[in-house]
Structure 1
Amino acid sequence: MFPKPQVALVPNTYEYESFPLVKPTGFREYDARWLFEKEINLMGVQALGMGIGTLIHEMGVRPDLVTGHDFRGYSSSIKYALISGMMAAGLRVKDIGLALSPMAYFGQFELDCPAVAMVTASHNDNGWTGVKMGANRPLTFGPEEMGRLKDIVMNAAFTLREGGSYQFVEDFRDRYITDLTNRPKLKRKLKVVAACGNGTAGAFAPQVLEMIGCEVIPLDTNLDHTFPRYNPNPEDMKMLHAIADKVRETGADVGLGFDGDGDRCGVVDNNGDEIFADKIGVMLARDLSKLHPNATFVVDVKSTGVFATDPELRAQGAKTDYWKTGHSYIKRRVNELSALAGFEKSGHFFFNKPVGRGYDDGVLTAIAVCEMLDRNPGKSMADLYSAVPKTWGSPTMAAKCADEVKYEVVDRVVKRFTGLKGEKVGGHAITDLITVNGVRVVTDDGTWGLVRASSNKPEIVVVVESPVSEARMREMFKAVDAVLHENPEVGAYNQTI
């Protein structure tokens, strides 16, 4: 028997060292994240591992699993606690060591493992930990699997089995890098800023970019799990501004920024202007649709409306499907529709065959950006960006809201806007409400505002965009924010326009 997890324990007590601590809200829509020690302890991680093993056997999946961990001071200890639980539940575990999340996904193919459990808190601040899981490559768990996993773990409904084993896979980093760089070298000599925020990507991205023929200017590439300058998050304006400064200082052709576990990439052009990831998606879709006409692209509801209206994409016969935000959702949708690629405003990009294997890989995204520039020898990154129809868009803005109430608050906001349909918001009539993921309010001039619950943090996300003017974008934000903050549970934003 294994003790039933507790939802709250006081650290530095007998009970804390004797019982598993697992806060239920750590089970998110498509992965799991907790504040380590406050919301989960090592025994709780062990319980999570037994839950993963129990679920994989329940799903009838061959019990071979690849695991790795990101560069945080506590991630390796969490991984070994997870491994002990997974082995107890009969999983045959292959450990690739310090890794990027896409390196673990690559391991599912390279090591013939149907399942994956990558220990990472991604771009979350220090103190957070989590696991990205899947049992059907290249997909990761969605709400159904995560809900079942939560039930198993919180009720200690584990099925322990014989047959669990452990193998450490040596030199797997080299196999991953070899796979990425097994391609023709760039013809165009590109000077590239590679910014890693002192996260895990620093051990991978600069070398890969050099191997494909770039001159690399490293920025915060030494691994330091205290993240001394800023959080490794290419949606964070601090990181983007640091990249922009380095691009202008060095005269680089492009700046590329990677998040904490290397599955996302942010881009700054040669003028030092930050390009939001959804616009990079438009540029890559334009480039790829020339090579693959009539392609389908999947984008999340946070992304620009240009995907649906761009004349060049229409001329190439490209089709766009707007879907739920979240790496698991977009990955699944790309797979379902056999789309060529999927793009999220957060910087998760999913390249399907023949470009990739369907999972999100920030280093592969960086390669795709460089190859796009290589195919346009007379044009700079700024030239390609200026060719995209102009819109005024906000960064992703996140307002604090407790995990326990954030979905209820968003439901209230959806009902509020539903009641306003046909009326004016920000001085313009509402023409459409997209409610596949929160609510995207669209007005008669194409301006829109999105409100949705964050899938992995205690926050509510707001994004606004206008094809008309910056003033219209700000009007929409003011209108959307006013409705959101009718709810007293909503706190301050992490950043605003």
Structure 2
Amino acid sequence: MFPKPKSVLAPNTYAYESEPMVKATGFREYDARWLFGKEINLMGIQALGMGLGTLIGELGQKKEIVTGHDFRSYSSSIKYALISGLLASGCKVHDIGLCMTPMAYFAQFELDVPCVAMVTASHNDNGWTGVKMGANRPLTFGPDEMTRLKEIVLDAAFATRGGGSYEFHDNFPARYIADLTKRPKLKRKLKAVVACGNGTAGAFAPQVMEAIGCEVIPLDTELDHSFPKYNPNPEDMKMLHAIRDAVLENKADLGLGFDGDGDRCGVVDSTGEEIFADKVGVMLARDMSAIHKDAHFVVDVKSTGLFVTDPVLQQQGARATYWKTGHSYMKRRTHELGALAGFEKSGHFFFNAPMGRGYDDGLISAIAVCEMLDRAAGKSLADLKNALPKTWSSPTMSPHCADEAKYGIVDSVVKHFEAARANGDKVAGQPIRDLVTVNGIRVTAQDGSWGLVRASSNKPELVVVVESPVSEQRMRDMFEAMDSVLRTHPEVGEYNQKI
């Protein structure tokens, strides 16, 4: 009988080396994230593999799974501990080695395998680990599956029967790269800075962008799991500013920044200005809806209001549905509605046919941006950006908040603004026009300025975003209005970045 996991074990003890440790808060809304060594140990990872194999059986799915790992010093050992648990639960494991997350999703289709378990902590700081999982391609787990997985693992309710098998697929990245690049080359020669923050995408992104016809200026593409300059996160201003400097120095047409596991892409234009991913989404939606009639897009609640107010999208008959933030939620909703694409402010983009297979892939997003420029009749990325109606938008700002406290605080913030609207109170000096509570709360004032507060799904943080179609000052007014409510809760700490 496999022992029941503990939430805490003292390091450098017999118990730490011989018992599974799994902190409950690591099971998040749609994937799993832990500080390795502090919140989970290798036996805990083995328990996770046994639990995942058990859940796959409960879901009635074929016990066959793709696995891979990102470039962190400990990811390979974590993957093999996970594999040992999957084998114990009777799974056939297809190992594709070091890879980006979208490469594992691609492998589900390429190898005709229903399930996936990708070992990655994405852009989280070094020290974190995690697993992105799914049992119904192209979808990944949501709250129901993650809650059941948590129950199985913490209760040690494993269905272990053995009989699993293992197959390693040699040089699998070549198959992925061939699939991405079997398209007509760009007619327009684009000079692109390709920035990877020393994350896993550095092994693959430059050659893919070269293969489609770009002149590539590599930036921080050497693999270094210590992330010596900045975290590979295209929402992080340090990364965006590094891309800006490289774009200006090399007189590049654009800069493309990939996160740690390659499923997101950030964009900088030829003037060195970062274009937040939701605005990139509007530009792509304009381009795609000009080609495809009655285009439907799904966008997350952190995203700009332009998806419903932009006159070009309205003229082209495009529709947009706002939905919960999070790659699993967005992927699922885009799939359910048969939307042409889904756009998330964090840079997760989900392209259905003909562009993609429904999962998030930063390289497909980068290719879509380059092909948009190829069709743009000589216009620059800055030209396309400046053609959008003007709004003032913040980056994603994240004040620290413990996992145990963050959801309760968001519930309190929701109740505060619901009561304010019921009482006729104003926000940032104006009446409340609308509240969206599908994921945290998005408060829109009478002039269209809005602010969002939600709980981060994968880190001990809250998420705050604000935007105004009126002025920068109105954007700042909305931030002060949201932040003043958060400051009534002492559990809310410092922001990672602020406007």
What range describes the TM-score normalised by the shorter chain of this pair? over 0.9
1:447 paired with 2:449, answer yes
TM-score, structure 2 normalization: 0.99
User: Aligned residue for 1:122?
Assistant: 122
After the TM superposition, which parts of structure 1 deviate over 2 Å for at least 4 consecutive aligned residues? none
1:485 and 1:117 mapped to 2: Cα distance?
A: 39
Please show how residues 298-377 of structure 1 align to structure 2 within 5 Å.
298-377=298-377
Q: Deviations over 1:347-369 (max 9, x none)?
A: 00000011100000001100000
1:77 and 1:378 mapped to 2: Cα distance?
A: 49
User: Aligned residue for 2:468?
Assistant: 466
Q: What amino acid maps onto 2:254 in structure 1?
A: V
Instruction: Say if 1:254 and 1:269, in contact at 8 Å, map to a contact too.
Output: yes
Q: What amino acid maps onto 1:270 in structure 2?
A: S
3-state SS in 2 of match to 1:398: coil
Q: What amino acid maps onto 1:424 in structure 2?
A: K
Please show how residues 3-18 of structure 1 align to structure 2 within 5 Å.
3-18=3-18
3-state SS in 1 of match to 2:180: helix
Provide the identity percentage.
74
TM-score, structure 1 normalization: 1.00
Q: Deviations over 1:324-348 (max 9, x none)?
A: 0000000000000000000000000
1:85 paired with 2:49, answer no
User: Aligned residue for 2:410?
Assistant: 410
Alpha-carbon shift at residue 162 of structure 1 (Å): 3.1
1:186 and 1:377 mapped to 2: Cα distance?
A: 13
Q: For structure 1, list consecutive stretches of 5 or more residues without a partner in the other structure.
A: none
1:478 paired with 2:493, answer no
2:437 and 2:100 mapped to 1: Cα distance?
A: 33
Q: What amino acid maps onto 1:65 in structure 2?
A: I
2:157 and 2:145 mapped to 1: Cα distance?
A: 15
Q: What amino acid maps onto 2:462 in structure 1?
A: I
3-state SS in 1 of match to 2:404: coil
1:98 paired with 2:98, answer yes
Alpha-carbon shift at residue 254 of structure 1 (Å): 0.3
Q: Deviations over 1:97-155 (max 9, x none)?
A: 00000000000000111000000000100000000000000000000000000000000
3-state SS in 2 of match to 1:238: helix
User: Aligned residue for 2:434?
Assistant: 432
User: Aligned residue for 2:497?
Assistant: 495
Alpha-carbon shift at residue 459 of structure 1 (Å): 0.3
3-state SS in 2 of match to 1:397: coil
Instruction: Say if 1:350 and 1:358, in contact at 8 Å, map to a contact too.
Output: yes
1:328 and 1:217 mapped to 2: Cα distance?
A: 32
Instruction: Say if 1:120 and 1:129, in contact at 8 Å, map to a contact too.
Output: yes
3-state SS in 2 of match to 1:404: helix
Q: Deviations over 1:285-333 (max 9, x none)?
A: 0001111121100000000000010010111110000000000000000
3-state SS in 2 of match to 1:461: strand
Instruction: Say if 1:188 and 1:377, in contact at 8 Å, map to a contact too.
Output: no
3-state SS in 1 of match to 2:193: strand
Please show how residues 164-183 of structure 1 align to structure 2 within 5 Å.
164-183=164-183
1:438 and 1:485 mapped to 2: Cα distance?
A: 17
1:70 paired with 2:70, answer yes
RMSD of aligned residue pairs (Cα, Å):
0.5
1:423 paired with 2:425, answer yes
1:405 and 1:376 mapped to 2: Cα distance?
A: 48
1:204 and 1:303 mapped to 2: Cα distance?
A: 29
Alpha-carbon shift at residue 278 of structure 1 (Å): 0.2
1:319 and 1:72 mapped to 2: Cα distance?
A: 41
1:212 and 1:432 mapped to 2: Cα distance?
A: 44
Please show how residues 186-205 of structure 1 align to structure 2 within 5 Å.
186-205=186-205
3-state SS in 1 of match to 2:255: strand
Instruction: Say if 1:264 and 1:360, in contact at 8 Å, map to a contact too.
Output: yes
Aligned residues, how many? 497
1:300 and 1:188 mapped to 2: Cα distance?
A: 32
Alpha-carbon shift at residue 171 of structure 1 (Å): 1.1
Q: For structure 2, list consecutive stretches of 5 or more residues without a partner in the other structure.
A: none
Alpha-carbon shift at residue 377 of structure 1 (Å): 2.9
2:293 and 2:399 mapped to 1: Cα distance?
A: 40
Alpha-carbon shift at residue 160 of structure 1 (Å): 0.5
Q: Which stretch shows the higher mean deviation, 231-240 or 416-425?
A: 416-425
2:64 and 2:13 mapped to 1: Cα distance?
A: 36
User: Aligned residue for 1:272?
Assistant: 272
Instruction: Say if 1:256 and 1:265, in contact at 8 Å, map to a contact too.
Output: yes
1:403 and 1:371 mapped to 2: Cα distance?
A: 41
Q: Deviations over 1:12-32 (max 9, x none)?
A: 111101110000000000000
Q: What amino acid maps onto 2:192 in structure 1?
A: V
Q: What amino acid maps onto 1:483 in structure 2?
A: V
Please show how residues 136-285 of structure 1 align to structure 2 within 5 Å.
136-285=136-285
1:432 and 1:275 mapped to 2: Cα distance?
A: 26
